[in-house]
Structure 1
Amino acid sequence: MLSKKSTRLTAAAFMLTGGLALASCSSGSAADDSGESTHTFSVASFLIDETPNADMVHWFLDTVTEKSDGRITFDYFAAESLCPAGEIVQCVTDGRADMGIVPPTYTPDKFPLQNLAALPFMTDDNQAMMAAFHQLDEGNPQFTAESSNLGLHNLGYWSAGASIFGTKTEIAEPDDFDGLRVRAVGDGLLSALEAVGASPVALTAGEMYEGVERGVIDGVANNLDAPISYKLTEVLDNWTDTGYGHYITIGMWMSQSAYDSLPADLQKVVDEAEVALNDGQGISVFAETAATQCDYMLEQENVTLTRWDDDTIDEFKELTGDTAKKAWIETAGAAGVEDPAAVLEAYEAALTEFSSDPADRVAPLAECAQRFADR
């Protein structure tokens, strides 16, 4: 893995530097000693550092800096320290930031097609999903237009991680969800939980711990970040992979104006790094960090992590039905998408294509559950 050389500005650093930091947020270009242009771009991210998603982003940024021989560098603002998560897309479009990293579902009115990731039981393969989204972005005009119409240059969409349920009591089958209050986001998860008698509760990630501690919720639906980054193993012992798969994507964009400011040779550097990010190298970095998260969970004596067997997963899937797909098609159509069913069909075909070789499967959550079963 490349060393993490991109400039990182935390919330505390941002507050300390005040107006000076804000003044550096717009893209800048200059000439180095050889007369070649140099560029520094600001990056507004919602991600907490030292997580699988953040490490993958830093790998991309470091790759661009290295391959450009330092002519492209980045000022990286982690954990919403430049823009609140719900405003990151707007920050990029209005010039407060040059790049943005945030789930498209935080602004669903702008990205109805990207919310395909919320559909249940599509895949738990991180790389298959990322490659499928990249193929849509490269070849489906409706999908590409969502970003280009906002003045955004797509760099990648990937899963935040497969859905994992943390609960106070053991969840051994779908009926065990009945009556539970579960923190969840994403239309697909909401539909699935309601189908098995649970009550979805809307809380931010930062509110999960207190929500459990105060009895507002009985459990959470999140990814492998939740037990570690939000310290939820302190209040929830039982963690379950129900086979639901992915529930949310993270998008990374550069403003089109920032991309256009680069000379052709540096645009090529960004383009090649984008291909590498999407063809499996990025997810390899993600998986490395996710494995360390599993190490942490295995060290917690109070924690269990189980994956449902295929029959139980099929039962959950049958109870959920196709309600989420129908709702997604209706929502996308209402948002002005001309033929959302055709986009869904293309997405499913791409998932099938990129999931064809089991040897290429990257599913850190399922792998972690297997490690628990083997110990």
Structure 2
Amino acid sequence: ILGTFNNCSNGKTPWGTYLTCEENVNFNFGSIAPHQQSAEQKRYDIKGDKSYYQWEQHDPRFDIVKNPNEPNRFGWIVEIDPMNPDSIPQKRSALGRFKHENAAITVNKDGHVVVYMGDDQKGEHIYRFVSKNKFDENKPQQNRDLLEEGTLYVARFNGEFDALRGRGEWLELTHGKNGLTTEAGFADQAEVLIYARKAASIVGATKMDRPEWIAVHPDQSTVYCTLTNNSDRGSADQPVNGPNPRQDNSYGQIVRWHPLLGDHTNNEFEWDLYLLAGNPSVYHDARAGTSNVTPDNMFNSPDGIGFDAAGRLWILTDGKDSNKGKFAGMGNNQMLCSDPNTGEIRRFMTGPIGCEITGLCFSEDNKTLFVGIQHPGEDKAPSHFPAGGNSKPRSSIMMIHRENEKSFAE
């Protein structure tokens, strides 16, 4: 596969493999001399001059003048078998190419495997993949290539702005359908997948406020997605819409949808906003957030999410911790726990200054919660996490138990 990099979050398959998601791959490509990018390169934020990491200065592979198609090798989901050191990682191109944040996998009631994915950039989209073949727990080898063939879809949300709810539909991204033709610039299905963003725009997908993590409720009735923030919301190119109702969205929100008849392969769904993050200490309008956000639990930029076995939703943030202006009193990045039935939200922990809290994962018995503390200190005031004293700050993984050693699900 000639490498994988800028791996973000993940997904765990029912057959025991691990999905790693390639995100900001545009940081690695540029050109030594100024160059006019193609329309496709612009859509994927590939720069026509010096890149963020400047790899093109040292390896012509990453120079888009010399190798204009090299960026197309990246921006995929990669399937890895962690239990077999001899296995070869596979880029699952049927899931589309974009800035993958995570992959939320569920087995539908008819056996088809469904993968939900977000494209983490302002004004990009939410995707769904439905496998061609069905999962069979009695045939583990047969399951290994379930992500190799299937149909990719992108979401369109319809609804009333004031009610924060509505209906939606999944739009198929298949060559020859919905305007995805040779005349539109797609020679075949491979190009639809390589340029999934372009395809999503042509079929009329909804532009979202940076879709990040997606999680499926344990009872499979509902899917949740964090929309972390979007300073461009309200511009001519990105007007407010149902699930993205606030201009200059500094705080983010969580949208959820309910597949029609509980069928994750159904192309219709109903959606609502589970919460709007905000600062009720500073504002008393929509920027204060929904009623379940209070001065005691307020936060901004929800990023990671996941469910425990009891169906509680855990929310991790990667936002602004300046504690000034519109972010006054919000503290450092944090992890919260919420009840989807009542909407109640409680802060569980806060991280050290400058960090992102990420990588939520429960042990199989739900007695241990793992969470990552990423880049403590960053460009803020000095941090000495986790060792203290005068030590340098280090990213780390925390392991959390209840004092009574019981399950988090109790």
TM normalised by structure 2 equals 0.22
**Counting helix residues as a fraction of each chain, which structure ranks higher?**
1
Q: Which has the higher contact order (CA 8 A, sep 6+)?
A: 1
**Counting strand residues as a fraction of each chain, which structure ranks higher?**
2
TM normalised by structure 1 equals 0.24
